[in-house]
């Protein structure tokens, strides 16, 4: 038997003479007589299958507070173990509260007796009748409406006094110890009555009254500040919590704060577009009149569970957006500028780790790739801990102009060289709109995210490339061990890659082989100081010198081989050879010999 059927059977067995009519079980109320009400009072149980309020019962005379099956069993004196869904091992939410002997109960009774016809008419505009005002003990002290905040022990120690229709004019009355946010839940006893069921949580007592008139269970807080600091454990045994706030941005923020703490069971009400700011459920009741019940039913149906996941529809839409973007010019511009390398990797995407022996030109290689991408208006952030900003710009100018640094410093240029220099200078100046060098050794993942957000906004670009030179010189302020720090940075890069559409080019140091050289066969184990590279890198590459850095070999004969040693999507192997173009601080790509 399903849970819905079991609940229906429970009520039918414990309400003799009941009969099922459409979605309701109707019966004589077993409590009216003993509570001094008309013994012919009627009780209804809502039994629509799949409904959030399946199993919710209420007496039409309001002789007892409404609730769900466990509450029914309690007030009917039934064994709780007979109730479907009863958990004998659950631990109740207990608060260590020392309730005082003195309370406001008699004052509350006096205030409820002081309600005026004009105030009753005020509530009647929203459809709220005297039966609801009496049930919630709403009163009047001669100037202010009095909303008594009864606690779980059944006594009132503090009340909120509000000038009618001027909510900013309010104050707390009673025991000051009960003025704090901890005790500011209006009608708090409904939480226990709705165990294993659904409950409304409102901001504002009047919105609660409008819901209670419709017969719904509800609690309320007086303001957003209280909403944000509610203890989630108080709602541990509520299956669904509908959250009702006013129509404004502040309420949306507070809703997210609370929902993130309570979790998936929260279903915030969404207001239709076009409503005035601060529009509330109380105002909706006044505006809709007899149509208020249908309006609330529509909002219940439209309320979506707070979830850490995107909706399936949004997930599919995001997938299609990504496909569309990857077919666009911004995505296709993510090329290194080296045809063989781009063929091997299908462009610069994901996290690309490049290791190499000292003095093989790793920095020069990445400076060339980064500046070529920036020349094609791809935004690039270059985190440099090796060379310095001036040296990066100078080497780029040498490569673009095909002039040595010494030649540029001397300034003795032919007309043709001057023309090349002027064109390269103009290109460099334009390139700097899309190229930022950062030497800050205090950079953190949070700062990096802000840098990425800035350059994306500044360049109006969908994608960003981040170069890190080098991985082993990133700051590890919060990490006790270097390897732990490197791995933590790699985790952050994965998040940034996925959330912000960022491609990484990262220089890594290599470990010396058994012969204390850097010329062993390339494999993932040659990367220094991190076991996580094999898990984090989309592509892991090694730039090996095909020459002896300690020999007197001329610069023009220096060649490096680039190996793709591991890839998520591409075949490992030798990619290409790169000849040093001395003295221009660049490389020329060649087919492997």
Segment 450-481, tens digit of pLDDT: 999 999 999 999 999 999 998 988 887 554 56
Grouping H, G, I as helix, E, B as strand and the rest as coil, residue 291 is helix
Query: CA–CA separation, 339 vs 37, rounded Å?
Result: 88
Give yes or no for residue 516 having a pLDDT over 60. Answer: no
- What pLDDT is recorded for position 316? 86
Q: Are 575 and 564 spatial neighbours (Cβ–Cβ below 8 Å)?
A: yes
Query: CA–CA separation, 384 vs 390, rounded Å?
Result: 11
Q: Are 584 and 399 spatial neighbours (Cβ–Cβ below 8 Å)?
A: yes
Contacts of 329-332 with CB under 8 Å at 24 or more apart are 330/378, 330/461, 330/462, 330/463, 331/462, 331/463
Q: What are phi and psi of 210, to 5 degrees?
A: -65, -40
- What pLDDT is recorded for position 556? 46
Confidence of residue 14 (pLDDT cuts 50, 70, 90): very high
Q: How many CB atoms lie within 10 A of CB 524?
A: 17
Provide mean pLDDT across the span 58-79.
96
Instruction: Please give the DSSP secondary-structure letter assigned to residue 165.
Output: T
Give yes or no for residue 519 having a pLDDT over 80. Answer: no
**477-490 per-residue burial string, b: 16 or more CB within 10 A, e: under 16:** eeeeeeeebbbbbb
Residue 413, classified by CB atoms within 10 Å of its CB into exposed (0-12), middle (13-18) or buried (19+), is middle
Confidence of residue 272 (pLDDT cuts 50, 70, 90): confident
- What pLDDT is recorded for position 134? 96
Instruction: Please give the DSSP secondary-structure letter assigned to residue 560.
Output: E
Segment 291-336, tens digit of pLDDT: 999 999 999 999 988 776 667 787 888 888 888 888 888 888 899 9
- What pLDDT is recorded for position 8? 95
Segment 244-260, tens digit of pLDDT: 999 998 999 899 889 98
What lies within 8 Å, CB to CB, of 125 at 6+ separation is 286
Place of tokens 């060379």: 387
Give yes or no for residue 573 having a pLDDT over 70. Answer: yes
Provide mean pLDDT across the span 545-563.
70
- What pLDDT is recorded for position 56? 98
Give yes or no for residue 386 having a pLDDT over 50. Answer: yes
What lies within 8 Å, CB to CB, of 245 at 6+ separation is 202, 203, 224, 227, 251, 252, 254, 255, 268, 269
- What pLDDT is recorded for position 238? 96
Provide mean pLDDT across the span 239-243.
96
Provide mean pLDDT across the span 15-23.
93
Domains and CATH numbers, the chain: 3-82 (3.90.580.10), 105-302 (no CATH), 330-590 (3.40.50.300)
Q: Are 195 and 237 spatial neighbours (Cβ–Cβ below 8 Å)?
A: yes
Grouping H, G, I as helix, E, B as strand and the rest as coil, residue 167 is strand
With a pLDDT cut of 70, the percent of the chain lying above it is 93
What average pLDDT is seen over the chain? 91
- What pLDDT is recorded for position 95? 74
What's the CA angle centered on 340, arms 338 and 342, to 5 degrees?
65
- What pLDDT is recorded for position 205? 97
- What pLDDT is recorded for position 483? 67
- What pLDDT is recorded for position 521? 62
Provide mean pLDDT across the span 84-96.
82
C-alpha separations of 422 from 96, 417, 426, 427 in Å: 78, 9, 6, 9
Give yes or no for residue 108 having a pLDDT over 60. Answer: yes
Closest by CA position to 293, among listed 21, 47, 53, 11 = 53
Query: CA–CA separation, 491 vs 181, rounded Å?
Result: 39
Strands annotated E in 343-393:
351-356, 380-384
Can you say whether the dihedral through the CA atoms of 440, 471, 460, 309 is positive or negative?
negative
Query: CA–CA separation, 539 vs 231, rounded Å?
Result: 46
- What pLDDT is recorded for position 315? 80
- What pLDDT is recorded for position 331? 87
Q: What are phi and psi of 557, to 5 degrees?
A: -95, 5
| Pairing outcome for strands 42-46 and 24-28 | antiparallel
Provide mean pLDDT across the span 483-508.
90
Place of tokens 């077919």: 327
- What pLDDT is recorded for position 60? 94
- What pLDDT is recorded for position 544? 86
Q: How many CB atoms lie within 10 A of CB 539?
A: 23
Least confident of 357-361, 470-474, 584-588: 357-361
Segment 404-459, tens digit of pLDDT: 999 999 988 999 999 999 999 999 999 999 999 999 888 999 999 999 999 999 99
Give yes or no for residue 495 having a pLDDT over 80. Answer: yes
Query: CA–CA separation, 219 vs 257, rounded Å?
Result: 18
- What pLDDT is recorded for position 39? 83
- What pLDDT is recorded for position 45? 97
Provide mean pLDDT across the span 22-44.
91
Q: Are 27 and 42 spatial neighbours (Cβ–Cβ below 8 Å)?
A: yes
Q: Are 467 and 370 spatial neighbours (Cβ–Cβ below 8 Å)?
A: yes
Query: CA–CA separation, 436 vs 454, rounded Å?
Result: 11
> At 508, which helix (H) or strand (E)?
strand 502-508
Place of tokens 């609801």: 132
Segment 524-541, tens digit of pLDDT: 667 766 667 878 899 999
Grouping H, G, I as helix, E, B as strand and the rest as coil, residue 340 is helix
Phi-psi region of 388 (alpha: psi -120 to 50; beta: other; left: phi over 0): left
| Pairing outcome for strands 464-469 and 435-438 | unpaired
Least confident of 121-125, 169-173, 542-546: 542-546
């Amino acid at each position: 038997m399903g849970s819905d059927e079991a609940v229906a059977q429970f009520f039918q067995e414990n309400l003799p003479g009941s009969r099922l009519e459409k979605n309701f079980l109707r019966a004589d109320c077993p409590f009216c007589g003993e509570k001094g009400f008309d013994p012919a009072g009627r009780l209804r149980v809502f039994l629509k299958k799949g409904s959030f309020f399946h199993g919710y019962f209420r007496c039409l005379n309001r002789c007892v507070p409404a609730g769900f099956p466990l509450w029914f069993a309690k007030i009917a004196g039934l064994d709780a173990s007979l109730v479907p869904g009863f958990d004998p091992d659950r631990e109740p939410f207990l608060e260590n509260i020392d309730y005082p002997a003195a309370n406001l109960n008699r004052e509350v009774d006096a205030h409820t007796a002081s309600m005026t016809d004009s105030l009753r008419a005020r509530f009647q505009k929203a459809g709220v009748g005297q039966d609801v005002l009496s049930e919630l003990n709403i009163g009047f002290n001669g100037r202010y409406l009095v909303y008594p905040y009864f606690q779980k022990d059944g006594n009132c120690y503090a009340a909120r006094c509000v000038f009618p229709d001027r909510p900013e004019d309010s104050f707390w009355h009673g025991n000051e110890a009960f003025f704090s946010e901890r005790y500011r839940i209006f009608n708090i006893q409904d939480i226990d009555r709705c165990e294993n069921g659904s409950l409304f949580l409102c901001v504002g007592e009047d919105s609660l009254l409008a819901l209670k008139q419709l017969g719904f269970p509800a609690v309320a807080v007086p303001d957003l500040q209280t909403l944000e600091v509610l203890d989630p454990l108080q709602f541990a045994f509520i299956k669904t919590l509908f959250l009702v706030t006013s129509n404004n941005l502040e309420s949306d923020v507070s809703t997210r704060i609370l929902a993130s703490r309570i979790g998936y069971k929260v279903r915030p009400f969404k207001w239709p577009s076009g409503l005035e700011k601060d529009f509330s459920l109380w105002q909706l009741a006044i505006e809709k009149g007899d149509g208020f019940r249908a309006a609330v039913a529509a909002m219940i149906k439209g309320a979506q569970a707070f979830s850490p996941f995107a909706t399936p529809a949004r997930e599919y839409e995001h997938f299609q957006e990504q496909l569309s973007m990857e077919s666009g010019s911004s995505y296709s511009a993510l090329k290194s500028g080296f045809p063989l390398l781009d063929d091997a990797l299908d462009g610069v995407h994901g996290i690309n780790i490049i290791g190499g022996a000292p003095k093989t030109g790793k920095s020069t290689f990445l400076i060339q790739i980064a500046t070529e991408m920036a020349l094609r208006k791809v935004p690039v952030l270059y985190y440099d801990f090796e060379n310095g900003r001036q040296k990066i710009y100078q080497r780029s100018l040498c490569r673009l102009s095909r002039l040595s640094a010494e030649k540029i410093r001397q300034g003795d240029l032919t007309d043709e060289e001057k023309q090349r220099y002027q064109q390269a200078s103009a290109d460099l100046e334009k390139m700097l709109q899309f190229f930022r060098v950062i030497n800050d050794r205090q950079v953190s993942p949070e700062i990096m995210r802000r840098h990425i957000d800035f350059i994306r906004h500044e360049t109006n670009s969908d994608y960003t490339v981040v170069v890190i030179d080098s991985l082993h010189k990133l700051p590890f302020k919060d990490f006790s061990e270097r390897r732990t720090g490197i791995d933590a940075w790699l985790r952050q890069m994965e998040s940034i890659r996925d959330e912000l559409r960022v491609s990484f080019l990262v220089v890594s140091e290599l470990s010396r082989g058994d012969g204390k050289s850097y010329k062993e066969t390339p494999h993932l184990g040659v990367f220094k100081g991190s076991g996580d590279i094999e898990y984090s890198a989309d592509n892991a590459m090694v730039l090996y010198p095909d020459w002896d850095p300690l020999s007197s070999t001329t610069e023009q004969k220096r060649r490096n081989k680039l190996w793709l040693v591991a890839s998520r999507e591409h075949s490992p192997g030798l990619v290409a050879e790169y000849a040093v173009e001395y003295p221009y601080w660049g490389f020329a790509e060649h087919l492997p010999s």
